[in-house]
Amino acid sequence: MKYRDSGVNIDAAQAALARAKAAVRSTWDQRVRSDLGTFGGLFSPAPGEPLLVASIDGVGTKVKIAALVERYDTVGQDLVNHCVNDILVQGAEPLFFLDYFATGRLVPGALEGVLAGVARACRENGCALLGGETAEMPGLYAIGDFDLAGCIVGRVAERDLIDGSAIRQGDRIWGLPSTGLHTNGYSLARKVVFEQAGHQAGDVVPPLDVPIGEALLAVHRSYLPHVRALWRAFGREAVHGLAHITGGGFTDNVPRVVPEGLCARIDTRAWAVPPLFRLLGELGQVDRQEMYRVFNMGVGMVVFLPPDLDASALADVGAVPIGEVAEGADKVSLRF
């Protein structure tokens, strides 16, 4: 199976965005400090002030799993943590967050559960939840369906901005472990598990030791504590680049931060792929290259650091060495 078999076409989405670039750029002035394709947008409110970093995202069809299991707080946490990670890769600390909840008709417990999760993750990340929007749209969403999105704003001093330009040949690449699928690949996962294999959310499917629904709802990890620990250990300047492994997996996300003329050579054999990913690959007979483009495969954040740093500080945050930077025309190369 491929991702497009589940109704998601990454290439078509990228092509559509490319056609819209001119319209987007027509709104910019000199205060916009980033181009399209970065994880967060950079805005300079005034000379000498910290840059504002903003991002907006959702949790995709993971909401379908939440509705199926009737547990809603986890996707609220997912939403915040995903957005925190998207601005963290540019060195930003979160300031505030806004959420958007849309449904055909409010189901008791759904909105309250989602907001409880959003608030919990905001507290954990030191981020104020300023407000949001709740929309009931019968006819657009089926009863029981809902959608979820969130917008985050953070800030970073210009001297602390991480944009990948510091990445050099010989840098080591480290992976920070994920807690599951995080918030991407759920259309394919649902098709494989529930449609093709015919499992129910409460089934315990080997090699998993928990119900498949619970495994699929595992909360998207926030890497803010991990990256802060690296900054304390080595200094901000030591973190040459960060890539959040979300939609597009390694194939599409790592190149977003690697400079021209360099290649991130990643050895996929360097870490143990968690059982959930192995199960999805086997049930769906998903090609290995496709797996690493759709899923994070157990690594949710990629970190570029100079060689010969103290490995004990990296071990403390669970970092695993997964590759190195070399010269090359392709910005990422996966070794299997």
pLDDT one-digit tens code per residue, 125-152: 999 999 999 999 999 999 889 999 999 9
Tell me, yes or no, whether 204 lies in a domain. yes
Same domain, 192 and 310: yes
Tell me, yes or no, whether 165 lies in a domain. no
Amino acid type, 40:
G
Same domain, 153 and 226: no
| Edge-first strand listing for the sheet containing 332-335 | 241-244, 299-305, 172-177, 320-327, 262-267, 332-335
Same domain, 192 and 68: no
Distance CA 237, CA 247 (A): 27
Digit-coded pLDDT (tens) for 22-62: 999 999 999 999 998 899 999 999 999 999 999 999 999 99
Domain count, the chain: 2
Could you tell me which residue, 308 or 236, shows the higher pLDDT? Answer: 236
What tokens appear for 181 in the block? 């699928």
Tell me, yes or no, whether 203 lies in a domain. yes
Buried/exposed code over 264-282 (b: 16+ C-beta within 10 A; e: otherwise): bbbebeeeebbebbbbbbe
- Judged on CB neighbours under 10 Å (0-12, 13-18, 19+), 170 is exposed
Same domain, 177 and 250: yes
- CA distances to 126, 156, 317 from 232, rounded to whole Å, are 18, 16, 12
Same domain, 259 and 137: no
Same domain, 261 and 116: no
Mean pLDDT of the chain: 95
- Which element (helix H / strand E) includes 130? strand 128-136
Digit-coded pLDDT (tens) for 89-123: 999 999 999 999 999 999 999 999 999 999 999 99
Segment 302-321 shows an average pLDDT of: 94
Tell me, yes or no, whether 25 lies in a domain. no
CATH at residue 152:
3.30.1330.10
**Percent of the chain residues past pLDDT 90, beyond the cut:** 90
Query: What's residue 111's pLDDT?
Result: 97
Tell me, yes or no, whether 291 lies in a domain. yes
CATH at residue 319:
3.90.650.10
Tell me, yes or no, whether 318 lies in a domain. yes
- Which element (helix H / strand E) includes 108? none
Distance CA 16, CA 11 (A): 9
Residue count of the chain: 336
Distance CA 167, CA 308 (A): 15
Digit-coded pLDDT (tens) for 21-32: 999 999 999 999
Distance CA 111, CA 231 (A): 37
Domain end call among 98, 130, 160: 160
- Which element (helix H / strand E) includes 304? strand 299-305
Boundaries of domain holding 301: 172-335
- Nearest C-alpha neighbor of 8 from the set 183, 187, 192: 187
Same domain, 181 and 310: yes
What tokens appear for 162 in the block? 């991480």
DSSP-assigned beta bridge partners for residue 138: 141
Residue 334: band (very low, low, confident or very high) from pLDDT cuts 50, 70, 90: very high
Distance CA 167, CA 335 (A): 20
Is 230 in contact with 238 (CB distance < 8 Å)? yes
Tell me, yes or no, whether 12 lies in a domain. no
Find all residues with CB under 8 Å of 151, minimum gap 6, and list them. Answer: 54, 55, 56, 83, 97, 98, 99, 100
Distance CA 198, CA 101 (A): 30
Domain end call among 160, 180, 200: 160
Domain end call among 160, 184, 214: 160
Query: What's residue 18's pLDDT?
Result: 85
Same domain, 188 and 242: yes
Same domain, 228 and 150: no
Cis bond before residue 259 (omega within 30° of 0): no
Tell me, yes or no, whether 95 lies in a domain. yes
- The model's pTM is 0.94
Digit-coded pLDDT (tens) for 186-211: 999 999 999 999 999 999 999 999 99
Is 330 in contact with 252 (CB distance < 8 Å)? no
Digit-coded pLDDT (tens) for 207-243: 999 999 999 999 999 999 999 999 999 999 999 999 9
- CA distances to 106, 142, 175, 205, 253 from 241, rounded to whole Å, are 42, 42, 12, 37, 12
DSSP 8-class letter at 160: G
Segment 154-174 shows an average pLDDT of: 97
Same domain, 153 and 176: no
Same domain, 154 and 180: no
Neighbours of 33 (CB within 10 A): 17
Same domain, 194 and 312: yes
